């Protein structure tokens, strides 16, 4: 059977309408988790789902599940979705694309009066971005048993408001338990958030894996001194040591195989006075790589580099691991079904590894999961200028439709 085609104009209109909620002056979106803007977005999504005759359930962490019933009441659902929250200066497509592409799957099935065996759940995960409450992929991670529910409910934002109280305030503290659901498969469509597909002129990224992460604090201590009186060869300048470590780590990132990405985005220099030689410098290393063995080797190399430089410059060093995320390999059958769907629709595609973390990565611990990427202009994301073209939006949603309906089985 040839599957019906999705309505690209309807999907684009829905995306643009949703982007009006929390719209910023620079053309982006600010819709932090569990704010009034998030509430408005959730309400609009729920309204659209009800119009499409989907049944809404909300769990105790505010995850929303909009179900299109299947013919088999006992069959596990095929899930698809993403998140509606954004970064403080986020774009119109990150997350919301996956949610509304999922809704478009249900709308298209309705139009074609097609029944599936398995139910289809369009899901909105709570607080994926982690920008207001500092735990990214909160809803999906608790759902998949990767984070603790009570710890998350008690997490507070910078103003002291807790997840629990904010869920209650916006009326999304649902009755359903979070997690413990059996799932046939989950597919998430998302913009790539990087430049690879655009540079290769491909429309569909078949996501094979998501890279793992190691994050460290490096604390370097030397000896403070007067900036005017202490000769250069008598100094134990913590910042100068840290700076050399940063350069050596950057060189490592450029030569290591498989290619990692390493970022030093936080540097604290103490005491922080122009006329005092820095006695302490702490910096944070964010190191990501698609393979666990690679991450282990990078961790060892980074430690050797930093300790070696500290030693030659007479500095003390302490390296503290902050977080560790294992690389994810997505389900082979899900990967194949995405690739086959792209082939059948004659869409240019390539295999790709996800540089960012996504809700689907967490769900992959408890269910077969696949991800579909589409290009975003200049690889820009988490930015007001984030853009994906209507034709790529359509292509990704069509592949999503084909794989979700394939998994949910036609009657
Ligand atoms: Zn996202």
User: Using one digit for the tens of pLDDT, what is the confidence trace for 154-182?
Assistant: 999 999 999 999 999 999 999 999 999 99
Per-residue model confidence (pLDDT) at position 349: 98
Residue 391 clears pLDDT 80, i.e. is over it = yes
User: Using one digit for the tens of pLDDT, what is the confidence trace for 16-73?
Assistant: 999 999 999 999 999 999 999 999 999 999 999 999 999 999 999 999 999 999 999 8
Spacing, Cα 153 to ligand 1 middle (Å):
21
Spacing, Cα 360 to ligand 1 middle (Å):
10
State the Cα angle at 102 between 100 and 104, rounded to 5°. 70
Spacing, Cα 314 to ligand 1 middle (Å):
44
Confidence of residue 2 (pLDDT cuts 50, 70, 90): confident
Residue 10 in tokens: 């309807």
Spacing, Cα 78 to ligand 1 middle (Å):
20
User: Using one digit for the tens of pLDDT, what is the confidence trace for 95-114?
Assistant: 999 999 999 999 999 999 99
Spacing, Cα 391 to ligand 1 middle (Å):
20
Of the candidates 209, 213, 222, 191, the one whose C-alpha atom is nearest the C-alpha of residue 353 is 209
Question: How much is the mean pLDDT over the chain?
Answer: 96
The arithmetic mean of pLDDT across residues 141-166, rounded, is 97
Specify burial of residue 257 (Cβ count, 10 A radius: 0-12, 13-18, 19+). Answer: exposed
User: Using one digit for the tens of pLDDT, what is the confidence trace for 281-331?
Assistant: 999 999 999 889 999 999 999 999 999 999 999 999 999 998 888 899 999
Spacing, Cα 238 to ligand 1 middle (Å):
38
Per-residue model confidence (pLDDT) at position 94: 98
**Does the pTM of the predicted model rise above 0.85?**
yes
Question: What is the H or E stretch that residue 277 is in?
Answer: strand 276-277
Spacing, Cα 128 to ligand 1 middle (Å):
7
Three-class DSSP category at 83: strand
Per-residue model confidence (pLDDT) at position 411: 67
Q: Which DSSP letter does residue 35 get?
A: S
Of the candidates 322, 327, 321, the one whose C-alpha atom is nearest the C-alpha of residue 293 is 327
- The owner of tokens 């790529």 is 392
The arithmetic mean of pLDDT across residues 394-405, rounded, is 98
Q: Is the peptide bond prior to 125 cis by the omega test (within 30 degrees of 0)?
A: no
Distance between CA atoms of 104 and 120, rounded to whole angstroms?
A: 12
Spacing, Cα 267 to ligand 1 middle (Å):
27
Residue 151 in tokens: 């710890």
Spacing, Cα 206 to ligand 1 middle (Å):
16
Residue 387 clears pLDDT 90, i.e. is over it = yes
Residue 15 to residues 8, 44, 74, 107, 394, Cα–Cα distance (Å) = 11, 11, 33, 14, 12
Spacing, Cα 43 to ligand 1 middle (Å):
20
The arithmetic mean of pLDDT across residues 329-343, rounded, is 98
Per-residue model confidence (pLDDT) at position 228: 97
């Amino acid at each position: 059977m040839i599957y019906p085609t999705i309505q690209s104009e309807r999907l684009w209109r829905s995306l643009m309408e949703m982007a009006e909620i929390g719209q910023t002056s620079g053309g982006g979106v600010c819709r932090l988790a569990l704010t009034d803007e998030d509430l408005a977005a959730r309400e609009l999504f729920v309204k659209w789902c009800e119009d499409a005759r989907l049944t809404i359930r909300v769990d105790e962490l505010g995850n929303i599940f909009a179900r299109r019933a299947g013919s088999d009441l006992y069959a596990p659902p095929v899930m698809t979705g993403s998140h509606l929250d954004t970064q403080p200066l986020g774009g119109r497509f990150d997350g919301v694309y996956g949610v509304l592409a999922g809704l478009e799957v249900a709308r298209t099935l309705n139009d074609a009066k097609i029944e599936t065996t398995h139910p289809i759940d369009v899901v909105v995960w709570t607080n994926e971005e982690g920008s207001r409450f500092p735990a990214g992929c909160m809803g999906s991670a608790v759902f998949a048993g990767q984070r603790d529910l009570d710890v998350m409910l008690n997490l507070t934002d910078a103003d002291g408001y807790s997840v629990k109280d904010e869920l209650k305030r916006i009326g999304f503290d649902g009755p359903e338990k979070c997690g413990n659901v059996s799932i046939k498969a989950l597919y998430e469509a998302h913009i790539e958030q990087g430049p690879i597909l655009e540079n290769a002129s491909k429309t569909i990224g078949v996501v094979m894996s998501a890279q793992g992460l190691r994050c460290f604090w490096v604390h370097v201590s030397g000896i403070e001194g007067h900036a005017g009186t202490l000769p250069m060869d008598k100094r134990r300048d913590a910042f100068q040591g840290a700076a050399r470590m940063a350069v050596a780590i950057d060189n490592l990132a450029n030569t290591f195989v498989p290619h990692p990405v390493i970022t030093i985005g936080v540097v604290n220099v103490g005491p922080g006075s122009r006329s005092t030689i820095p006695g302490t410098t702490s910096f944070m290393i964010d190191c990501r790589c698609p393979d666990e063995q690679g991450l282990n080797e990078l961790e060892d190399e980074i430690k050797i580099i930093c300790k070696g430089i500290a030693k030659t410059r007479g500095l003390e060093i302490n390296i503290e691991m902050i977080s560790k995320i294992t690389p994810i390999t997505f389900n082979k059958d899900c990967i194949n079904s995405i690739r086959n769907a792209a082939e059948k629709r004659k869409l240019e595609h390539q295999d790709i590894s996800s540089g960012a973390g996504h809700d689907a990565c967490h769900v992959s611990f408890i269910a077969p999961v696949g991800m579909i990427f589409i290009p975003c202009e200049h690889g820009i994301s988490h930015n007001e200028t984030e853009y994906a073209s209507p034709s790529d939006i359509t292509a990704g949603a069509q592949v999503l439709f084909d794989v979700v309906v394939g998994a949910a089985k036609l009657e």
